Each structure stands twice: as C-alpha cells, then as structure tokens.
Structure 1
Amino acid sequence: MEIRDLSPDDLDAALDVRSRSFGPLSSGDVDHWKAMVVRAIDQHRVVAAYDGGTVVATARINAFGQWWGGRRVPMAGIGGVVVAPEHRGSGVGSALMRGVLDRSRDLGFVVSTLYPATTAPYRAVGYEIAGTRRVVDLSTDALRRLSGDAVPVRRASPADAAEVTRLLAAGYAARRDSGPFDWDPVEVTVDLEDDDMLTYLADDGVVSYAFARDRFDVQVFGAGSSTTMRALWRLVGTGSSTQASVRVALGPQDPVFWMLPDNEVSVHATQWWMLRLVDAPAAVDARGFPAGVDLEVPLVLTDPLDEGSSGRFALAVSGGRGVLRREEGAGGLTLGPRGTAALFAGTPVATLRAAGLADGGDPREDALLDAAFAATPFMVDYF
C-alpha cells in the first residue's frame, strides 16, 4: 500500500471509487467534480492510497481559514474521503487519514475539520466532535416584513470574489466567532459564475441565494451592521409571493432569530462536525482568546501522530492571545488528541473528564481552562 498524491492520470479511477462509495454523479456534476479535484491536485491537496498501482482510496484537503475567537486559523477541511468497498476494513482508511494529516501539516494547516459519515474511523486518528451546522427554515413573508432603512445593493459578478471573502471575514472577526471558515477566492469565483445563484452586495454585506422548489436556499449571508442585515433579509423576503420559506444554515446566536416578530423558525437538520489539531502549539498561537482572561495552566498532551504536539506544556493566556510553552516537570491535565481538540473547541473540562478524554491535573484549574477556551462553535458551510 502506497500513500501519495493522486495522479491526474488516475482521475477516472478516483471517480470510480467515489461512485462506488457515494453513488454515481450526473454528467454535469462529473465535470464540476473533475474541475474541483484538478485544482486541488495542482496544489498537492488530494491524497490517494494505491494498491499495486491501483487507486483504492482518496481524500481531498480543502484550503480554508477557520475562525476561532475572532482570529483566522489555517484549516484543512477534509472532504471526499472514499475507500473502495472491497478494501474497507483492511486499514486503508486509517493509513489514508494519517497521510492526509501529514500532508496537511506540510501545507501549513494547523487545524483540520470534517463532516463525518461515521465517527469511529476519525476518532481513531484523533478527531473529536467540536460543533454543529444547523439548517433552519424561515418564513419568507416574515423576512419581507422586517423593519429598517433601505440600503443600496448591486448584483455581484465573478470579479467580486475577493470582496465577498473580505466581507464575510470582517463579520467573523468583529463577532469573535468560532467555527465558520472562508473559501479560497478561486472557489468563490466558481460559485459567482453560476447563473442559478442570485448574489447581491452592499457596502458591508452580501447575500447569495437560489430558487429550490417552493423555497429559497441561502448559500451565503453576511452583514456588518443591523441595518444592512435587515435590508438583505428583506431583499430575500421580496420573493414571498412565490417562495414560502427560506432555508439557511445559521449560527445558534444569529441576530435574525431576535429580529423576527413571531416564532416563524423551524429546524430542518443538524449536522455534527469534527476537529483535530494538526499542530497544537501553532493552533493555540493562532487562536483568539477572551481579552479578560489571564492564566497559566500546565497541560500534558499526547499525540501519537505528532511529536511536536506531545509533551508537558504551560498554557499561558493573556491579552486575547495564547501560547503553549514547552516546559519540564510533571503533572497537569492530561489530554490525547481527541481531548485536546474538544478542549480547543470549548468543551467543558468536566465533560471531558466524564467522557474519559481528560485526566489528572488540578480540578481547581478546570474553570480557568473553561474560561480560556469558551466558545460555541458552528459552521454555516458544507464541504
């Protein structure tokens, strides 16, 4: 078994494994899939398992920046993980994921996330549940009736990809969000070239949506002010005469829930997503922390897939920044990669202890760690 880059010459073989795993794609979707995979291959972001020169498994690394505490952290979003049916249960998947983590580290990503079809194989390589993606249905007419001043908007074009990315990032930073991520502007350009998507820009906001049977599906929404937020939602709401509802993924504390006049929200679906730290010291250095928290707590981290993330550290947090400083000595809260990921995502230490993901240390310091990593992680995009 060899783990290496997927060769462009093996694109059809990789598509065959994908079809045997998730079902066949339509002819139009095949072209889109191949174009996406070729872009990733060019950046060494597609890892494959070869058995005797034959592709038997693949995984794609999406290049994202994920926001934690309002700061952008380089994130490898793992998608398209497929193993040929006749090779499942043979260890191919675990070997592939170890290769994916090595490649992610080589490419400079410090955290990694994925949406699991099943959690066991990903937990085996250190991923743990971190947050949710919650999709809700809103009343289109209720959005139409939102009060507020008018805001100038214009239609977006593929040339606006960088502006769309900038506007969304500004919102994540201002709200000190944890979990949302941004796409490479190249991928945003592809979406903006889709005539089925209606995308509008304001000076400090963006909305992108499409018709879907009797509803609108909102793909992108971001606004830097309450006025713009209300105006962009009203814009979507102007279609209430033909589309009864709006389906959109939103964070649990999105302001629109407090703007709607009545209880006109229903949850359509909730998906868990998982997190792993690819480089724990670098991830802590990149993450944002609460400005009022000042502490130093010993941690003992063990990561069988990364020596640099293993050992005894002092976690020091001050002024909204954190650092994992390697130090000598014994003692401290002991965490494996799953516990480290869950703590990073704001899971209370008491939960980690009860789940068997944390042990030792001084229980009196648990509340300090809870305060440092406090977060309600969510995603609004799927990959």
Structure 2
Amino acid sequence: MTSQFEYNTISNAEDEKRLGKILQQCFNSPPDESIQTYFQRIGRENFRSIHDSNQMIGGLAIIPQGQWFGGKCIPMGGIAAVGIAPEYRGSGAALELMRQTIRELYRRGIPLSTLYAATQRLYRQAGYEQGGSLCSWEMPTQSIMMRDRTLPMQAVNLDHHQLHNLYQQQAKLTNGYLQRHQVIWQEIVESSTYAYLIGEDQPEGYLMFKQQKVKDSDCIVVRDLVLLTPGAVRRFWTFIGDHRSQIEKVRWKHSLNVFFTLMLPEQTAKIVDLGRWMVRIVDVIAALKNRGYPQELVTELHLEVRDSLIVENNDKFTLKVAQGRGEITRGGRGELKLNVSGLSPLYTGLFTPQQLQLVGHLEATETALLSATQIFAGSSPWMSDFF
C-alpha cells in the first residue's frame, strides 16, 4: 500500500526553518536561536522530515554515534527531536516517519538505533523495546566519610578532547555507553562549571560538575565521571566529601547498581529518577556479528526472528560464539523464537532470556535458553547521556 506521506532530507534553510518551528512548538522551546544552534551542531544533513500533500508536518534528527556492548562498539543511529505538528497528530505520520528512518538506517548499514521515548507505544510499533537504564542518584555529602588524598586532583579547562581517551576506556567496559557525537560532548561541557583530572602523569579518571540549588539544597551535580582504578574511586569520594561544609548533596547518573558506593560506610545513596532508553535492532546479522561476547565461551544459538518492517531480518539464524566473537549465518533450527523488538533487551542484556520468556517476548527450548543466557551475560546496560 502506498503511503500518503513523503519522507525527505532537510536540504535548505527554508526546510530547516519550518522544521525548527514545528520542533519548538512540540517541545515547548522559547522562540530564540537555540533551535538554530541545535541544527548547526547536529548538522542539517542529519535531519529528516515527513510531508503530507507537499506540506512539511514533522521530522526528527538522526545522531550518528556508536554504542558499546560486550567490549565492542557497534554503529548506532541515535533518534532525537521527534516531532509532529499538533494538527497532524493521530494521522499515522509519526509511525511512518519512524518506519522510513529505520529503513534508511538499514540501507546505510547501521545495525542499531537507540532513543529516549516520550511514549513507548509509538516506538514499540516500529520495533523498539527497552534496552537499558539511566538513573539519577543523590546522597548527602556528610555521609561519605572517605579520607584518601593519595591521588592529586588537577583542575583543567573544560575541554573534552583531553578527556576523550579516559572516557573510551570506561566506555569499552560498560554495556550501553555511547561513542559520543560532538553535540553530546558540547552539551556536557556547556552545562559544567568545573573539570578535574584524577591523578597526574597518568590520570586514572576525571570529573566534570556544576554547583547549584536543587530543591533548596546546595548540590554538586556531576555531569560526567570516569573512574578507572580503586584509587580514583577513593579520591572521587574524598573530593566530594571535602565539600561537606558548604554543599549538602551530590547528584550523579549511573546504572541501577552503582558499584562504587560499595566503598562507603552506609547505604545513604538513593535513586531520585529512573528512566529507560529503547533500542531497535535494525540489522540482525550485523548487530549480532559486531557485538562482543564472553571470551571463554564456545556455543551456538538458533534463533528465529520476526520483523514485519525489515524483511531481511525475518528469518532463522544460527549464531556461533567463540573467542569473544560471533559468526552468524542464515538457517538453523529456530529454537529461540522472538519478534525483533524482543531481541533488543536480550541483545543489550537488560533482561535474561528466562525473564523475557515470562513476559511473552520469546519462546525457547531449555537448551536455547541456556545458550542465550551464557551468550548475553554481562553487566546491566546503562548510559549517563540523554539525547
């Protein structure tokens, strides 16, 4: 069936201005130059629009990034600023916009797409499902009680280029972390006031933060944090605790399980906000091939994937894992059956195969469940970035 909508790139200043006005209304943004700056940073070539009868009625941004899973970085299209003019909502334009975007990503050889959803229902219709978490934590500085100043704290300029290599080391170890686009780095830098390297000759981490009032309390808000050694963790907590005479609380973003609070004497850290980002497996073969896997594991998994949008994904596949790598071929016994949306939380490791089976996202034999559990084992996926 031919769609009534037309999917286009943003090719000129007039298109950019029209889409900018739609997005400003959708996201309740003030009518200033901020949307123009946003277009400049992401790049006009990365915006798409949807038209009805030659009238632009909405659009979105595709932020070219990467995402780390199993120690490997997979190309990913981050979807942002999805907006439809209010008079066209309910027309099916948003779903068609997402479907066309996914088809484009497939043609371009981009295996994954990730986004933060204002409403899950729309994106689930396009094959997305929950993939990982972003949590905001808070704790009183008085409760930290860490006194280890072995490593120096070196104040540095707010320049992400000198921090990039440290960030990459942590990203490789963290399922869900981004290979950040420039626009995300810029937002972190601009929303920070202070930056410190932890360590001197060979830094072991870094900290970027601002100080502000949060619910009438003076607070350190951590904007970016990399901790690569036990010494860096201790120095971070000591540094934050040393603010206790003036700063009441510290806030930071992390996973549901913050490992570095294990060094603290009491459980005073609390989750103040929890959200989940969504993932779409755009290209099943490329996504499974490029992901990393447990190094010592040798096994295989027979999948059957159902995907009504990308017909090339609608097939049986055999995934063979050895030496931390995956080899995937078409065919096999189809012992683990699931929709492409159900593949997302399995692929990222957000939920176990048994949990996904309990909520009806997959059907599998006991052998396939065991293999899938071993293949996708790892730390719970999360990221500290919102886009």
> TM-score, length-normalised on structure 1?
0.89
Partner of 1:188: 185
Q: Matches of 2:193 and 2:338 in 1, distance apart?
A: 45
Task: Say which is worse superposed, 124-133 or 296-305, in terms of deviation.
Answer: 296-305
With over 3 angstroms needed to count, the CA separation of the structure-2 counterparts of 1:152 and 1:9, relative to structure 1, is farther
Partner of 2:211: 211
Partner of 1:179: 176
Q: CA RMSD in A?
A: 2.2
With over 3 angstroms needed to count, the CA separation of the structure-2 counterparts of 1:242 and 1:52, relative to structure 1, is farther
Structure 2 counterpart SS, 1:242:
coil
Q: Note if 1:232 corresponds to 2:233.
A: no
8 A contact 1:6–1:41 mirrored in 2: no
Q: Matches of 2:98 and 2:191 in 1, distance apart?
A: 36
Q: Deviations over 1:231-285 (max 9, x none)?
A: 2333333332222111111123333210122122111010021111111111112
Partner of 2:38: 36
With over 3 angstroms needed to count, the CA separation of the structure-2 counterparts of 1:36 and 1:188, relative to structure 1, is same
8 A contact 2:41–2:182 mirrored in 1: no
8 A contact 2:47–2:60 mirrored in 1: yes
Q: What are the residue-to-residue correspondences of 1:218-367 with 2, within 5 Å?
A: 218-327=222-331, 330-346=333-349, 347-359=351-363, 361-367=364-370
Partner of 2:75: 74
Partner of 1:11: 16
Pairwise CA distance, 1:189? 4.5
Q: Structure 1 regions of 5+ residues with no counterpart?
A: none
Partner of 2:110: 109
After the TM superposition, list the runs of 4 or more consecutive aligned residues in structure 1 that deviate by more than 4 angstroms. Answer: none
Q: Matches of 1:274 and 1:364 in 2, distance apart?
A: 28
8 A contact 2:335–2:368 mirrored in 1: no
Count of aligned pairs between the two proteins:
372
Partner of 2:193: 197
Pairwise CA distance, 1:94? 0.8
Partner of 1:163: 162
Q: Matches of 1:86 and 1:189 in 2, distance apart?
A: 34
Pairwise CA distance, 1:299? 1.0
Task: Say which is worse superposed, 17-26 or 368-377, in terms of deviation.
Answer: 17-26
Q: Residue type matched to 2:271 in 1?
A: V
8 A contact 2:141–2:241 mirrored in 1: yes
Structure 2 counterpart SS, 1:97:
helix
Q: Residue type matched to 1:148 in 2?
A: D
8 A contact 1:215–1:243 mirrored in 2: yes
Q: Matches of 1:126 and 1:186 in 2, distance apart?
A: 26
Structure 2 counterpart SS, 1:252:
coil
8 A contact 2:192–2:223 mirrored in 1: no
Partner of 1:50: 51
Q: Residue type matched to 1:165 in 2?
A: H
Q: Deviations over 1:100-122 (max 9, x none)?
A: 21333344432111111111110
Q: Deviations over 1:305-331 (max 9, x none)?
A: 22332311111111111222113x554
Q: Deviations over 1:54-103 (max 9, x none)?
A: 32111112222211122222222211111111111111001110122133
Q: Note if 1:22 corresponds to 2:27.
A: yes
Partner of 1:83: 84
With over 3 angstroms needed to count, the CA separation of the structure-2 counterparts of 1:282 and 1:134, relative to structure 1, is same
With over 3 angstroms needed to count, the CA separation of the structure-2 counterparts of 1:312 and 1:4, relative to structure 1, is same
Structure 1 counterpart SS, 2:43:
helix
Pairwise CA distance, 1:215? 0.9
Q: Matches of 1:337 and 1:35 in 2, distance apart?
A: 36
Structure 1 counterpart SS, 2:16:
helix
Indicate the percent of aligned positions where both proteins have the same amino acid: 26
8 A contact 1:5–1:41 mirrored in 2: no
Partner of 1:138: 139
Q: Structure 2 regions of 5+ residues with no counterpart?
A: none
> TM-score, length-normalised on structure 2?
0.89
8 A contact 1:66–1:180 mirrored in 2: yes
Q: Matches of 2:130 and 2:18 in 1, distance apart?
A: 32
Q: Matches of 2:49 and 2:266 in 1, distance apart?
A: 50
Task: Say which is worse superposed, 350-359 or 265-274, in terms of deviation.
Answer: 350-359
Pairwise CA distance, 1:196? 4.7
Q: Matches of 1:34 and 1:105 in 2, distance apart?
A: 28
Pairwise CA distance, 1:337? 0.9
